[in-house]
Chain A
Amino acid sequence: MSGVRVLVGTRKGAFVLSSDGKRERWDVSGPHFAGWEVYHVKGSPAAPDRLYASQCSGWSGQVIQRSDDGGVTWEPAGNQFAYDGVPGTHQWYDGTPHPWEFARVWHLEPSLEDPDTVYAGVEDAGLFRSTDGGQSWQELPALRGHKSGPSWQPGAGGMCLHTIILDPATPGRMFAAISAAGAFRSDDAGQTWRPINHGLQSQGIPDPDAEVGHCVHRLAMHPSRPSVLYMQKHWDVMRSDDAGESWHEVSGNLPTDFGFPIDVHAHEPDTIYVVPITSDAEHFPPEGKLRVYRSRTGGDEWEALTSGLPQEHCYVNVLRDAMAVDTLDSCGVYFGTTGGQVYASADAGDSWAPIVRDLPAVLSVEAQTLP
């Protein structure tokens, strides 16, 4: 019988939530790596029991963990992330040059084909790749070395490369997003990159439609239609129909277009989900009501999904990597909150129920559909 495994990274460890295909009863395993921040856990599409986890702490830095049994047991892998060559500088918050310094891995993206190949998006923004199951890491330096690199500035959470999307249809094409530099695309497996931010408007930067400098919070793509991209920007929900060459706003009737995550229904490429947040100053849902918004038209027209979600006194946030979908016939949607709840919907968002209520603050959620 098919099943689902939800991989949750939190401020104080990782959790593995498992259910059969009904998604009614859940087994909760964890905390793994108790006491450590776990920014992201993700499984290999090619070998689902191969998982990678980014574990870090202010005391002891970065650790990469690897599991070959679906998260039952883990072994530390390599944790040396050395920038290629002399790293140079980017801009600091005050505008002064600041040396590139590795802080942590925000996002791990396993290869679509090879379980031993995995990409890591790091802070300060850089892209690394391992081809030996995470034992050793080499930077793909062309992204950080883009001519605009010295002008990049960190967002409030640090200058992080938080999104990596591998195009399943066009060999060598990949997308990355950096706060607060913007979105980038490579068509040659990361050897060269160019910004893809045409159409973005950001009032918080000196030139609102600059080539780089936009605080892109998240990108999403449906694998069946990889030329269509969706973006949750600091403010604005955006859509591109030409693989990022140009963007147009699809915020439509959202109560606020500020937010962090965005994701796509597993079987309906025009059905997308966001979690509107009041503002950049107030990182909680408007009116204290936790509402996922769904568009079935690829944006512009949105409906609030509230069944099973708290509709009063709710002041949590949902971070950029903390939403995921499964690929069962009735698409499951999952998200985690800074209040430690992980909510699941087994009916594409029509109704929700918490799998767990009291985890540490949730940093990331991924879903695996198992045979």
Chain B
Amino acid sequence: MIRVVLPAHLRTLVRVGGEVELDVTGQVTQRSVLDALEARYPALAGTIRDHDGGARRAFIRFFACEQDLSHQPPDTPLPEAVASGAEPYLIVGAMAGG
């Protein structure tokens, strides 16, 4: 079970109050987690990564285990603590004003 924390504006969009819990089959990577997240909540498609090619949107960041994973390749395995559910995978709206 993977724990995902969405930024506030996306929690509002899909009407979730706290963490999202996902079952991910196979290797736990940023791509597989985001695929599972968008399958659960189709309205998130295009709001975290582009529809075409899946590139991360510029003002969205990915953190876990006190590391910035935003620039890691999407198929790199996530830390074991995330894969085991001990630590959440954080999707963050960058501090960019507004």
Contacts and interface: CB of A to CB of B under 8 A. Distances in A.
B71 interface: no
Contacts of A76: 13, 42-43
Contacts of B51: 80, 82
B45 A63 contact: no
Nearest to B93: A59
Interface residues of A, number: 15
A61 B45 contact: no
Interface string A47-76: 000000000011111110000000000001
Nearest to A32: B12
A341 interface: no
Contact of B9 (A59, A79, A82): A59
Interface in B40-91: 42-43, 45-48, 51-52, 57, 59-60
Contacts of A62: 46
A66 to B, nearest CB: 11
B46 A35 contact: no
Nearest to B92: A59
B70 to A, nearest CB: 13
A35 B93 CA distance: 13
B12 A33 contact: yes
B13 A63 contact: yes
B47 A63 contact: yes
B1 interface: no
A58 B59 contact: yes
Given A35-B12, A76-B13, A82-B51, A59 B7 contact: yes
Interface in B3-43: 7-10, 12-13, 42-43
Contacts of B12: 33-36
B7 A79 contact: no
Q: How large is the interface on B (under 10, 10 to 19, 20 to 34, 35 or more residues)?
A: 20 to 34
Contact of A59 (B42, B43, B52, B57): B57
Nearest to B61: A59
B9 A61 contact: no
Contacts of B43: 63, 76, 79
B9 A60 contact: yes
A36 B46 contact: no
A35 B52 contact: no
A57 B46 contact: no
A82 to B, nearest CB: 7
Given A35-B12, A76-B13, A80-B51, A59 B94 contact: yes
Contacts of A36: 9, 12-13
Contacts of A57: 9, 98
Contacts of A61: 46-47, 57
A58 B8 CA distance: 14
Contacts of A59: 7, 9, 57, 59-60, 93-94, 96, 98
9 contacts: A57-B9, A59-B57, A59-B60, A60-B9, A62-B46, A63-B43, A76-B42, A76-B43, A79-B45
Interface of B: 7-10, 12-13, 42-43, 45-48, 51-52, 57, 59-60, 93-94, 96, 98
Given A59-B9, A82-B51, 19 more contacts: A33-B13, A35-B8, A36-B13, A58-B98, A59-B57, A59-B60, A60-B7, A60-B10, A60-B47, A60-B48, A60-B60, A61-B57, A63-B43, A63-B47, A76-B13, A76-B43, A79-B45, A79-B46, A82-B52
